[in-house]
Amino acid sequence: MLDFGFVHLFYHEYAALTKSSQQPDLSLKSGAATELMEAMRGLRSAIGALTLTSGVINVLALTGSFYMLQVYDRVLSSHSVPTLVALSVIAAALFIFQGVLDVLRNQSSGRLAMLFDDRVANVAQRLIVQQPILGMSRSQAQVPLRDVDTIRAFLAGGGPVAFLDVPWTPVYLAFVLILHTWLGLLCLAGMVLLVMLTYLTERLSKQSAKELSAADNRRRVVADANARNAEALTAMGFGDRAISRFEQLNRHFLDLQTRSSDLVAILTGLSKALRMILQSAILGLGAYLTIRGEITAGAIIAASIASSRALAPVEQVIAHWRGYLQARLSYRRLEAAIQLLPRRGERLVLPAPVQSLSIEGAVVCIPGTQRIVLQGASFQLLAGQALAVIGPSAAGKSSLARALTGIWPLTRGSIRLDGAEFDQWSAEQRGRSLGYLPQDVTLFEGTIRENICRFDPTAKSDAIIAAAQAAGIHEMVLRLPDGYETDVGADGTALSAGQRQRVGLARALFGDPFLVVLDEPNSNLDADGENALTNAIHSVRARKGVVVVVAHRPSALAAVDLVAMVNGGQLTAFGPKDDVLKQVLRSPVRSVG
């Protein structure tokens, strides 16, 4: 059977919204459906306008048939010029009205596309933020936004209009049947053939659309990797091989796209040829019936116009079929992706944490897998304490940092701030009490001021400068050409690696968060930068905050009072710095990092 689920969504949503009260019951909706339906709630008026306008347009489309029927059967037989003038004026007025409605319908289709983008783009952006955490590449993470663009293009391109016209084909068929049974049966036969052609289009295009989408994603992933590794490609001279790899994937994508376009072009041509043959057959059969005296000459023209109108929507559906398949695939992909998003709901606003951070029996897996990277971790930090997490590479240190910041959810166990588990805080509220400096520091395109204050438009200048001073970069920023208004460029490339890391530290310290998690914060710092880092940790402790530092270099331990040893995904030691370091020196693993 044909799957019109994507198009039916708009009918279903409109019907549900018009029947619902001001407080709709969402108990029957869950997961992705709820999220996407709620995002699309504002489409009601555009869907209603499209449906209503399409109905009126399709009724007015019978104007030409009635006009020709009256002209041939009444005007020509009576030779009445006034009747001809009156009919022509009425028909012209109705045609103008139909044209105006057609313009409004096309505008409504454009508004529907705009509203869809407006309602769903923010959900897609949430997915773009969430999916890299699950291990996807930046190119793969951009797929939801491209899906929104695909659906918007289908809506704006008149795709829904073609589908909205299809339910009116029985009206034109009934009109032709009224004129004569044989004419109606011939029109019905043509409709059946076109529906079969539509089914054939679905069968042949469905797999092609999936392959095309997969090929497009593969070439985008390679293109993104080439862009991210541009320096290595240039320095080591294998840029041509990387480009050749992309060209192979791109050529495969273009072959699939050409094949898909050819298929739709063939089926569209067949549908047009079939419609023209049928229209001529209607005229021929009508002439035969007129000779036999069973219908009038006007009925021939009226039947030809009505049958053409009856078949046109199916032909238009076939012409839009590739866009429909892509939009349907994109919609389903959005549904599936939204299931990965954490549910957003109203939460009680808890007081900002000021006392403790505790982790109890934490088990962490790489998101999307069952691979355990940290298990059984338990400890507590009180206000004013700082912990350094040490251990060999791939031991689970960064996994612990991601868990402490809520980036990676716990498989088992709990993390609490002042006794409240992380899921009792909204991401926004928890973020105000948390500062994080990731291992790979990337700044946002914008100014240093915007990056430090986390793009908060209400941030006070004093708070921004205080964060910069805490990170020891205030004087460095003032020496830049535009000071705090210096544009850092894409990914912060206008700054050196050390400068990016120190701006990232200032961002982590902005707003005096209670918990500050620093993942290898001195990997790109010189001696001055390391001194500034030590002073920053001391300042957080002095204001009764909590600091967790993932350390590879011993200098990061200068300002901490506690040390945790992570090895093989387990917390093997925890306690005062001197005691743990002595234990580490006695153990086979002698490296701090």
Checking if the pLDDT of 182 tops 70, the result is yes
Residue 1 scores a pLDDT above 50 = no
Q: How far is CA 107 from the centre of its chain?
A: 24
Q: Which of 173-182, 341-350, 445-454 has the lowest mean pLDDT?
A: 341-350
Strongest mean pLDDT among 186-190, 310-314, 335-339, 386-390: 386-390
Q: Which residue has the higher pLDDT, 20 or 34?
A: 34
* pLDDT given for residue 453 in this prediction: 92
Q: Which residue has 């200068």 as its token pair? A: 558
Q: For residues 269 and 274, give the distance between their C-alpha atoms in angstroms, rounded to a whole number.
A: 8
Of the candidate ranges 33-42, 348-357, 504-513, 544-553, the one whose mean pLDDT is the lowest: 33-42
266-292: average pLDDT = 84
- Whether residue 282 contacts residue 175, with contact meaning beta carbons closer than 8 Å, is answered with no
Mean pLDDT of 8-27: 37
Q: Region of 295 please: left (phi>0), alpha (psi -120 to 50) or beta.
A: beta
Q: Which of 333, 412, 312 is nearest to 372 (CA)?
A: 412
Examine the pLDDT at 505 and tell me if it is beyond 80: yes
pLDDT digits (tens, 9 = 90+) for 292-342: 888 888 888 888 888 888 888 877 877 777 788 888 888 888 877 777 666
Domains and CATH numbers, the chain: 9-17+33-338 (1.20.1560.10), 356-586 (3.40.50.300)
Contact 519, 437 (CB under 8 A): yes
102: confidence class by pLDDT, cuts 50, 70, 90: confident
The reported pLDDT for the residue numbered 17 is 34
Q: Give the confidence band of 478 by pLDDT, cuts at 50, 70, 90.
A: very high
Please give the mean pLDDT across all residues of the chain: 81
Q: Cα angle vertex 499, ends 498, 500, to 5°?
A: 90
**517 Cβ neighbours under 8 A, 6+ residues apart:** 401, 404, 405, 434, 435, 436, 437, 508, 547, 548, 550
Helices 497-509 + 461-470 axis angle, to 10: 120
For residue 587, pLDDT over 90 is answered with no
Q: Which residue has the higher pLDDT, 79 or 134?
A: 79
**Average pLDDT of the segment spanning 60-79:** 84
Mean pLDDT value across residues 573-591: 75
